[in-house]
Amino acid sequence: MNATTTTPARVSATDALGTILAENVHVVDQLRGASVGTLDAAADRLQQAERIFVLGAGRSGLALRMTAMRLMHLGLDVHVVGEVTAPAIVEGDVLLVASGSGTTGAIVRAAETASALGVGIVALTTDADSALARLAEVTVVIPAAAKQDHGGPLSVQYSGGLFEQSVLLVGDAIFHTMWKATGATAEELWPRHANLE
C-alpha cells in the first residue's frame, strides 16, 4: 500500500502580508477599545522617569531596542539592559519590559529586582494575570497569541510573531505621543540620530 503524500497549498507572500496586516489591525482595534488610557499611562510613566531601561528576550527585545532608539531621539536617557554600558538601575528609573507570556524567567527576575529597588515598571504582555503584570505599575495587555499558542484563534502566525509586531507598534505609538507632547519638530530631533553609520 502506497502512502499518499499531499503537498501543502502554497500561500503567496502577498496573501501572507494581508493576513499579518489584518491581525495587527485587529490588535490595534482591541487596544483602542479595551485599553483606553493605558497607552497614555505608559507614555506618561516613561516621561516621568529619570532614566529608562528596556528589556525583552529574543524578537520582543529587538522590538524594544527600536523603541529605545526612538526615546533616545527625544533626548531621554535610555539604556538597553545587558549592554556593557548600561548602568545600575535605581529608584526614579523606569524599566520597560516585554514578555508575551509574562513568565520569561530572566525578564521576571529583572522586574523583581527593579521592583525591590523602587523602580517603576511598564510591562507589555498578553497575560494580565502573569507574574510580570503583577509587578508592573502600568501593564499594556496586548491581545495576541502567546509564543506556544500554535494555531490558536488569536493568530495564525508562527511563535509569537503577532505579539512581537505589536510590541513595535505599541512602542512607536508611545514614542509618537511623547514626541508630539514636546512640540519639537523632526528636524529638532534629527541631530540626535546616530552619525557613525
The enclosing domain of 106 has a CATH number of 3.40.50.10490
Range of the domain at 90: 56-181
Count of domains forming the chain: 1
Decide if 79 is inside a domain: yes
Asked if residue 134 belongs to a domain, the reply is: yes
The predicted-structure confidence for 110-119, as pLDDT tens digits, reads as follows 999 999 999 9
* Contact residues for 27 (Cβ-Cβ < 8 A; gap 6+): 142, 143, 144, 162, 166, 169
Per the rule left: phi > 0, alpha: psi between -120 and 50, beta: everything else, 60 is alpha
Cβ(70)–Cβ(172) below 8 Å? yes
Indicate whether 122 pLDDT > 80: yes
Q: What is the mean pLDDT of residues 93-115?
A: 97
Say which of 83, 164, 187, 197 is annotated catalytic.
Answer: 164
Residue 155 belongs to some domain of the structure: yes
Does residue 187 have an active-site annotation? no
Residue 51 within any structural domain of the chain:
no
Q: What is the pTM for the complete model shown?
A: 0.92
For helices 161-182 and 38-48, angle between their N-to-C axes, nearest 10 degrees: 60
Can you tell me whether residue 100 is helix, strand or coil? coil
